[in-house]
Amino acid sequence: MNPISKDLMIVPFLSFLMCCDLMARPLSVSEKAQEMEAFRQTLPLECRHKTESYDMLKHCAVKTFTMGGEPISPRIIEDLLIWVSDRKDQITSINLIGSQRSNKYSTDSDALQVSRGDKAQDVFDIEYIKEKVGRKHEADPFISYQVHGVTDNGIYVISTLDGGGGGSSVFPTLLLVTFEEDMGFDVDIVKNKILPQKRLMLKKLFQINLIDRSVFDVKINGNKLDISILEWPNQKIRHEMSLDLATLLEKSA
């Protein structure tokens, strides 16, 4: 498979809903293994297997938005999001080297569904069903994300869905992230040494909270992002915006 395409992409929100099957039953262990293996086979050969190599982990994250043959955990994406009731960013970057296979961000015990989008082979959808916290008759809470593509300057455009667990609302969000290298330290108590450690940070640039169950199209062309939004339920009110992301990374430095 080629790296995630930088060409023009149009991925309607409705196809996102249909593709992800958001209220799907939890997958069995064997079903999860089969889906993950099928997804893994679509990746470049060097990105299909677990590795401890920092350089390879970075290469595959930047190239395919995966690490060790698996998509970046939906729980990591969820932690970068702010609630619809909030306005200011909170968690803005997460160290993928220490987080992707961690207990905190593990999806081993959840229903995790991985699929390729219908509109473009380089687009993929990730969904997991979170632990139920509401009443038994309520729908399972879920978080999903879809990778729409990457700009010429390395900004990934992701849409997310958060819903279930207490109502019919499904809140879509557009999230823009990029990768940055950082240096941290570890302490070896036995050897009485401070050891440098490379960190690969998934950095949040900004998010756009969209209206409940709104329908939207995303187009990426070079460093330009075009967004078209139709309000739910009658889809008669349209909002359009065009964002130039060419200098965004310079401004965030």
Q: Quick one: pLDDT at residue 3?
A: 47
128 or 153, higher pLDDT: 153
Token pair 């997310």: residue: 160
User: What is the Rg, in whole angstroms, of the alpha carbon atoms belonging to the chain?
Assistant: 18
Across 23-27, 143-147, 172-176, least confident range: 23-27
Q: Is the torsion defined by CA of 118, 213, 225, 147 positive or negative?
A: negative
Q: Quick one: pLDDT at residue 225?
A: 95
Q: Quick one: pLDDT at residue 164?
A: 59
- In the chain, the DSSP E strands lie at 66-67, 70-71, 93-95, 111-116, 124-129, 142-150, 156-163, 170-188, 193-209, 215-221, 224-230, 238-244
Q: Quick one: pLDDT at residue 171?
A: 78
7 or 159, higher pLDDT: 159
Tens digits of per-residue pLDDT, 72-95? 999 999 999 998 788 899 999 999
Tens digits of per-residue pLDDT, 89-148? 999 999 999 999 898 988 765 556 676 554 444 456 676 666 544 445 456 677 889 899
Across 21-25, 108-112, 211-215, least confident range: 21-25
Helix (H, G, I), strand (E, B) or coil at 47: helix
**pLDDT above 90 as % of the chain:** 42
Token digits for 22? 């958001």
Count of beta carbons in the 10 Å neighbourhood of residue 18:
11
Is residue 152 scored above 60 in pLDDT? yes
Indicate the domain borders of the chain: 13-209
Is residue 1 scored above 80 in pLDDT? no
Residue 10 in contact with residue 219, Cβ under 8 Å? yes
Contacts of 225 (CB under 8 A, 6+ apart): 151, 157, 176, 218, 219, 242, 243, 245
Residue 12 pLDDT level (bands cut at 50, 70, 90): very low
> Mean pLDDT: which of 148-157, 208-217, 234-243 is highest?
148-157
Is residue 195 scored above 60 in pLDDT? yes
